[in-house]
Every structure is written in structure tokens, then in C-alpha cells.
Amino acid sequence: MTQEISTAQEPIAIYDLTLNIRVSWQAHSLSTIGSNGSNKLMPRRQLLADGTETDACSGNIIKHHHAVLLAEYFEEAGVPLCPACAVRDARRVAALTDRPEYPEYKDVMMSQILSRCGLCDAHGFLITAKRPSRDQIEKVSQEEVEPVQENVAESALTQEGRQRRSKHTLLDFSFALALPDHHAETAQIYTRVADTKDEGQMLMKMTTRSGEYALHVRYFSVGIGVDIDKWQVIITDEQQRLLRHKAVLQALRDSLLSPDGALIATMLPHLTGLQGALVIRHTTGRAPMYSALNHDFIERLQAIADKTCSVYPFHSIDTFNAQMNKLIAHSFPCYPASYLQKSSYSTSSTEPDMEERNRHGKRKK
Ligand SMILES: [Zn+2]
């Protein structure tokens, strides 16, 4: 329902959440496509469906900065980080599997990864499969009575190779796309110290951009502490899930109120506007999104609101901040329906009321 978040009501269950935003940045260069070997640093551009070319910032850069900030919030809250995330290695747990000093990560299980690291849990990771060496496969096949190629490879994998393990990120970030009639850029010459002393100073041409950007963020809250490939809850402790959930929201709030990206050392953006709608799906399903490229995006989203889906609009940085702070204080991540049902079916023959149970954030004992 369309409303302000009330702190008097019961805690807010979040299954899935989207932020549908129109943000204004002046004089920035948050995302570029590099210089391609020239002395001109080129801005990022994106074609829209009607062929219009507009200014753009990659979601990569916003996601990266959210992850960096989230690690700081996790440390503050006492949420564990794996040794890779603790030193801000962006490969996360995948950086540890071949390191002899971390033997416990050689054949690490999904449950161990998610328990040991809040950042791997929230932002995802990929440990690639490693095939065993040819020698190892031949050795095993000679030992097998009836060698079947696939089974041989599988059994050898556990000895020399490695199983693929991955978790998709719970936080998705879109490109920030400038409204076609609301962006501009200024080309400027900058001096830069060259790589060698003989070359002296280099002249670089860079553009500084200003615009109103449409941006989406989606947070799949139900996936906190969950192996979302096998759909199994790993972190069963409600308090631990809540700590992770709150930190994700805190870092999201800050990412938008204090923009971060490329070239901020000398082109920190002027944030001059923030409006949009926070959309929350309270029960199984997905929170709808509608782009701020459309001028009526807030009204259209508000018209979607119903019992299972709340829409909270904001028209300034302070109302956004207030809505986020209320969510941080009064929301919690839903459990997957299968997890809630598992124990209730053994004790009750009645149809489980998922909405009611998630509202209280607990498994029925
Ligand atoms: Zn990690």
C-alpha cells in the first residue's frame, strides 16, 4: 500500500525489494570507457530503444562500491568475513581455494562459505570447476572395474579437481541512464604527470557530465543466508540474518546519499536531487520495477500497491533517508516458504499461513 513507513506498525517483512530512482548528479565522471590508447577519456554511452544515445554509468561501479561499504558495516556489526573479503579481495572466496595457507578452503562447502562470510553471501561469488589432471583420470580409470567416462571424471574430481560452487548476488544494479533531454557534458583539458620523467606533463581531454539519471536497484532479501541454487536455508539464526539484512540496507542508503565511482578524487559529483519509490514485496514473489526514464514512474508504481506489495515514494534526500532508516530499524528478511513449511507440516495438518508467519519472522515450532 502507498504510505509512509510507520514505526508503530508490526515489523515489515521483506521478500524482495526494488529502488526505482531518479538521481541528479552535476559535474561528474563516475563511469567512463577508458581512453583506448589516446589522450581522451571517453564517457560511457548507451543507445535507447528509439535510437537515442544517452549518457550512462555502469551498474558495475555502483555495485562494487556498495560491496566495499557493506564490508565495513559487516565488520562493525560483527558479521564474519572470509579472509579474502577481510582484505577486500573482489574475487571473494574464490581467491582462497588454491592458497596453501588456507587448506580449509580447498574443498569448501557452500554451507561453510555462507556461514563464514556475510559479503560472499550478499554479493555472490564463483568458484570455477577444475578438471582433474589427465594422469589422475587415467589412474582412476585403471582402478575401476567398469570404467564409465563420466563417473570416472566425477570421482576423480573429488581427489584432484574441484567442484563448481557459486551464489548469485542478492543485489542487482542497473545502468544509470540519463534522461535523454536532461543531460549535458563539457570537454575539459587536464594536465597529468607522465609515466616517465622525460615526457614531462601530459595533456588529457576529459568530459565532465551532468544529468538526471534513472537507476534501479533490486535486493533479493529472502536470499540472505540461503543457498539460492539448492534453495536451502544455511543461516537459521534469525539474529544473524537480521544483522546482515540491516547492513545491506545501511550500505544502500549511503551509496545513494554519498555517490561513489570513478574520478571522484577531483570530480566528486554534486548531488542535486533524489526522488523515486521504494517497492517491497512482503510475501513470495518479486517486487515490481518501473524506470524513472518514464516521467510518471512514481504514480504508476503507486497504482500497483496492494496487500502483498507496498510502495513508499520519496521526493527528496531527507524523505529517502527517513524511509530507509525506518526500514533499517523495522524490517526483516523473509524465510523461503519451503523452509517455513518444513517444520509446520510435521506438527500441523492445517494450511500454513505463510504471510502471517513471515510477518512474525519466525518458523512455527
Ligand atoms: Zn567472503
Q: Report the amino acid identity of residue 59.
A: G
Ligand 1 centroid to residue 83 C-alpha, Å: 7
pLDDT of residue 38: 86
pLDDT, tens only, 200-247? 788 888 889 999 999 999 999 999 999 999 999 999 999 999 999 999
Enumerate the β-bridge partners of residue 25: 211, 271
* Three-state helix/strand/coil letters over 181-233: EEEEEEEEEEEEECCCCCCCEEEEEEEEEEEEEEEEEEECHHHCCEECCCCEE
Share of the chain above pLDDT 90, in %: 67
pLDDT, tens only, 75-134? 999 999 999 999 999 999 999 998 999 999 988 999 999 999 999 999 999 999 888 776
pLDDT of residue 161: 77
> What is the pLDDT of the chain when averaged over all its residues?
87
Ligand 1 centroid to residue 79 C-alpha, Å: 11
Ligand 1 centroid to residue 165 C-alpha, Å: 13
pLDDT of residue 168: 96
pLDDT of residue 179: 97
Q: Which residues touch 207 (CB under 8 Å, ≥6 apart)?
A: 29, 41, 42, 43, 185, 186, 187, 188
Q: Residues with Cβ within 5 Å of ion ligand 1?
A: 82, 85, 92-93, 117, 119-120
In the three-class reduction of DSSP (H, G, I as helix; E, B as strand; rest coil), residue 31 is classed as coil
Ligand 1 centroid to residue 85 C-alpha, Å: 4
Please report the sign of the dihedral spanned by the C-alpha atoms of residue 56, residue 59, residue 60, residue 65.
Answer: positive
Ligand 1 centroid to residue 119 C-alpha, Å: 5
Q: Report the amino acid identity of residue 292.
A: A
C-alpha–C-alpha distance, residues 137 and 154, integer Å: 10
Q: What is the DSSP letter of 236?
A: -
Please check the confidence at residue 362 and state whether its pLDDT lies above 80. Answer: no
Q: What is the CA radius of gyration of the chain?
A: 24
pLDDT of residue 363: 46
More confident residue, 344 or 54: 54
CB 282 within 8 A of CB 14: yes
Ligand 1 centroid to residue 93 C-alpha, Å: 5
Helix (H) or strand (E) holding 274: strand 270-281
Ligand 1 centroid to residue 244 C-alpha, Å: 13
C-alpha–C-alpha distance, residues 180 and 142, integer Å: 66
Average pLDDT score over residue span 22-39: 91
Ligand 1 centroid to residue 75 C-alpha, Å: 12
pLDDT of residue 177: 97
C-alpha–C-alpha distance, residues 104 and 16, integer Å: 33
pLDDT of residue 225: 97
pLDDT of residue 153: 41
Residue 104: Cβ within 10 Å count? 10
Please check the confidence at residue 26 and state whether its pLDDT lies above 50. Answer: yes
Ligand 1 centroid to residue 68 C-alpha, Å: 12
pLDDT of residue 196: 74
- Position of cell 568530459? 207
Residue among 89, 15, 7 at smallest CA distance from 322 = 7
Cell representation of residue 223: 536470499
Ligand 1 centroid to residue 349 C-alpha, Å: 41
Ligand 1 centroid to residue 124 C-alpha, Å: 9
Domain boundaries, the chain: 12-67+172-334, 81-168
pLDDT of residue 307: 95
CB 47 within 8 A of CB 317: no
Ligand 1 centroid to residue 120 C-alpha, Å: 4
Numbers of helices and strands, H then E, in the chain: 12, 15
CB 210 within 8 A of CB 183: yes
Ligand 1 centroid to residue 10 C-alpha, Å: 33
Please report the sign of the dihedral spanned by the C-alpha atoms of residue 132, residue 133, residue 138, residue 143.
Answer: negative
Q: Residue 358 — very low, low, confident or very high, per pLDDT cuts 50/70/90?
A: low
C-alpha–C-alpha distance, residues 211 and 320, integer Å: 20
Enumerate the β-bridge partners of residue 45: 55
pLDDT, tens only, 247-288? 999 999 999 999 998 888 889 999 999 999 999 999 999 999
pLDDT of residue 258: 95
More confident residue, 141 or 194: 194
Beta strands 165-167 and 226-227 are: unpaired
pTM of the model: 0.86
pLDDT, tens only, 134-193? 666 666 555 544 444 444 444 444 456 788 899 999 999 999 999 999 999 998 888 877
C-alpha–C-alpha distance, residues 296 and 298, integer Å: 6
Ligand 1 centroid to residue 64 C-alpha, Å: 14
Ligand 1 centroid to residue 166 C-alpha, Å: 12
Please check the confidence at residue 352 and state whether its pLDDT lies above 50. Answer: no
pLDDT of residue 170: 98
- Position of cell 500454513? 352
pLDDT of residue 67: 97
Ligand 1 centroid to residue 77 C-alpha, Å: 15
Ligand 1 centroid to residue 71 C-alpha, Å: 9
Q: Which residues touch 127 (CB under 8 Å, ≥6 apart)?
A: 93, 94, 97, 108, 162, 164, 165, 166
pLDDT of residue 364: 42
pLDDT of residue 36: 84
Average pLDDT score over residue span 309-325: 97
